[in-house]
Amino acid sequence: MDKIGQISTYTVSLFGHSFDVNPINFIMTWIVMGLLAIIAILSTKRLNIIPKPIQNVAELIYEFIEDIVISTLGQKDGKRFVPFIFTVFVFTLMGNWIGILPNFAVMLGTLIAVVHNIFGAESVQIAWAGLTNIQLTPDPSAWYNFLFHVPDFEEPTRSINTDLAMALMVFFVVHAFGIKKNGILGYLKGYWGDVIPCEGKWLLLAPINIMIPLNIISEISAVVSHSFRLFGNIFGGFMIITIVSSLTKFIAIPIGLLAFFGLFAGLVQAFVFTMLAVTYIGQKA
């Protein structure tokens, strides 16, 4: 309990500067990308008119994102951004969900051990001290004992570094699209505002146009809020599950919390993060 939220880092020296690196977050990010690559290969390896389950799920998610993006950005711009938005969604979703895999392994091992005990196995010891205090000790030689020792998976999206990097990626894509679509002058006019006309002699008043710094601050705050919203919800859910699980011995109440914060909240936050990206792109269209 005393180490909740503690981050293990090591220092790397590069070009005379020292940087703190979180190796767990780095590794988990690559694990998420690897899992997504495997799922992509399996879902597209043998495409059929009548899709198999994994292909069917992939197509449903893609078509769902495609409908939302096209309805928001229009047919032309929407088609262009569907692959990018889809990638943002599935990466964020997998990043939110991967941390609950060890918890599912423990719950599965617990259920197997309880059933094993019901059928008379003496290798499983269960001590009942109330609904929220159930001590279960499986025999180390039991075949399912490994389920209780699955390494903890830290969600990449639980780190503000990952969330900020994703928000910055969306930021650069949005503004690059705005410049390409409206031209550099048309893009800069968006920062000018409607108080002072952006033409002719009025351009001399640019240094005192209060709308320019306000709009720049607005763009920066959008990146901060985009990243901190995801970080706050994922980290907050992790804290609640961890604290309550430790207090209730991970048997009764945490199952419902895991279902909500791990699955439902992870899905909702991935959807919100993705839809905000679509909204930002639509504002620059």
What is the rounded distance in angstroms from the CA atom of residue 92 to the CA atom of residue 36? 11
What pLDDT band is residue 126 in, cutting at 50, 70 and 90? Answer: low
Tell me what pLDDT residue 248 has. 58
Question: Binning pLDDT at 50, 70 and 90, where does residue 282 land?
Answer: confident
Handedness of CA 186, 191, 197, 201 (dihedral sign): negative
Domain ranges of the chain: 10-105+150-284
The DSSP secondary-structure symbol of 141 reads T
Report which of residues 210 and 129 the model is more confident about: 210
Q: What is the pLDDT of residue 32?
A: 92
List of E strands, 87-227: 125-128, 134-137
- The band of 28, judged by pLDDT with boundaries at 50, 70 and 90, is confident
Query: Nearest Cα to 112, choosing from 146, 62, 65?
Result: 146
The residues, any chain, with a CB within 8 Å of residue 21's CB and separated by 6 or more, are 9, 10, 11, 12
- Give the angle 7-12-16 at the CA atoms, nearest 5°: 140
Residue 89 clears pLDDT 60, i.e. is over it: yes
pTM: 0.79
Q: How confident is the model at residue 246 (pLDDT cuts 50, 70, 90)?
A: low
pLDDT of residue 271: 94
Question: pLDDT tens, 223-239?
Answer: 999 999 999 888 887 77
